[in-house]
Amino acid sequence: MASVSPDDTNPDVYEERFNNIVYSGVIALGVGLGHRVGLFKALTYLPEPETSQSIAEHAGLNERYVREWLFSMAAAKIVFVTDDNKYYIPADCKTKTSKSLYATMMPAIAPLTKDVEKCLRSKDPSSADKIRTVLDIGCGVGKLTASIANYFPDAKVVGIDVDSYAIETAIKLKEDKHLTNVEFYLLGAEYLTEEWEKSFDWIIMFRVFHDLPNPDPCLRESIRVMKDDGVMTVLDNLGHSNPKLNVGNKPLAATLMVSCYMCLPCSLSAPPAAGNGIGWGLENRAAYIRENGLIIHDNELVECIHCSKATL
Ligand SMILES: C[S@@+](CC[C@H](N)C(=O)[O-])C[C@H]1O[C@@H](n2cnc3c(N)ncnc32)[C@H](O)[C@@H]1O
């Protein structure tokens, strides 16, 4: 067990250690940022000390920001600077930066601070503790369903899909992983089992909704099997419903082209052929969900939204 020396509780030593941790934490955020945008890769690759301009060009980044970042790293003695203002990591130290990849987690998790803050302030038991039953509609080969079953070992998790190959693969995955709290069924969302009435705490529909040729009965049935205080999470990789708002969004342009080949044909494949696809867009999806009586929580113009029957 780590021991505490009398010095550790000395107020001056305590203050120094405390401040050191705080400063190091902020600098670690910069280390994570540097890894994410390729600055450590550039500094490792470049054989000689280089100017901020040349490092920025090498990494394809904005020089002014790179210079500010280099100033911070130089002050922290992570990067060194020559008399003619060129920056470098000593050759023998370059490989020693790899462990700091852990710091990439910091910028990645920082946006979650508000959520964690909410959890800290909430006196309720964690929502995870309340989840006992989960339905994954359009579960495909069951990877996400299996992860959820693993994450909520006390919950009963069900995955359904209309594709027999997907369900056979999902059942094999369940067996391989020895999961006892998940079941997979070959079943369409239009006709959910009668006995499931109001029985699911959490219903998820990942990358399914915009593919459906007949979303009305699917949503109606999902609402029927959701508990009154249950939550439905819907994820679709959609852009805006108004094409003018998507101008310049290249990843979306690619996704919309994939939709021409996959999602749209799927949503036109059977009567009444809703024909939604990716072009359906976030605004139309939100309006459709609201028209069907669900309340959407937080921002509705994002790919992943949470809905419920009543205000939770
Ligand atoms: C793009 S895949 C998504 C699979 C999985 N949810 C994921 O995120 O990896 C869409 C899935 O929805 C299924 N699907 C389509 N229509 C369905 C329906 N009416 N009922 C249940 N599943 C359906 C398809 O067979 C397919 O496996």
pLDDT tens digits, 106-137: 887 788 788 778 877 876 656 666 899 999 99
**CA gap 204, 210 in Å, rounded:** 14
Q: What share of the chain is helix, strand, coil (3-state, %, to 5)?
A: 55, 15, 30
The full set of domain ranges for the chain reads 10-106, 117-308
pLDDT for 169 beyond 70: yes
From 143, 196, 208, 267, mutation site for ligand 1 pocket: most ligand atoms within 8 A of C-beta: 208
Look at ligand 1, atom 10, and give the residue with the nearest C-alpha. Answer: 208
For the domain spanning 10-106, the CATH number is 1.10.10.10
Query: Mean pLDDT of all residues in the chain?
Result: 92
Ligand 1 centroid to 240 CA: how many Å? 22
Ligand 1 centroid to 153 CA: how many Å? 24
H or E stretch including 23? Answer: helix 11-36
User: Within 6 Å (CB) of ligand 1, which residues are found?
Assistant: 137-140, 144, 160-163, 166, 188-190, 206-208, 211-212, 218
Question: Structure pTM?
Answer: 0.66
Considering the segment(s) 117-308 as one domain, its CATH architecture is 3-Layer(aba) Sandwich (3.40)
Ligand 1 centroid to 211 CA: how many Å? 8
Ligand 1 centroid to 208 CA: how many Å? 5
pLDDT computed for residue 49 by the predictor = 97
Closest C-alpha to 166, from 142, 144, 130: 142
pLDDT computed for residue 15 by the predictor = 92
Q: Where are the beta strands (DSSP E) in 152-303?
A: 156-161, 182-186, 200-206, 226-235, 295-297
- % of the chain surpassing 70 pLDDT: 97
**CA gap 75, 307 in Å, rounded:** 48
H or E stretch including 174? Answer: helix 164-176
Asked if residue 6 has a cis previous peptide bond (ω within 30° of 0), the answer is no
**CA gap 49, 81 in Å, rounded:** 8
pLDDT computed for residue 2 by the predictor = 56
Look at ligand 1, atom 13, and give the residue with the nearest C-alpha. Answer: 138
Predicted confidence band of residue 1 (pLDDT cuts 50, 70, 90): very low
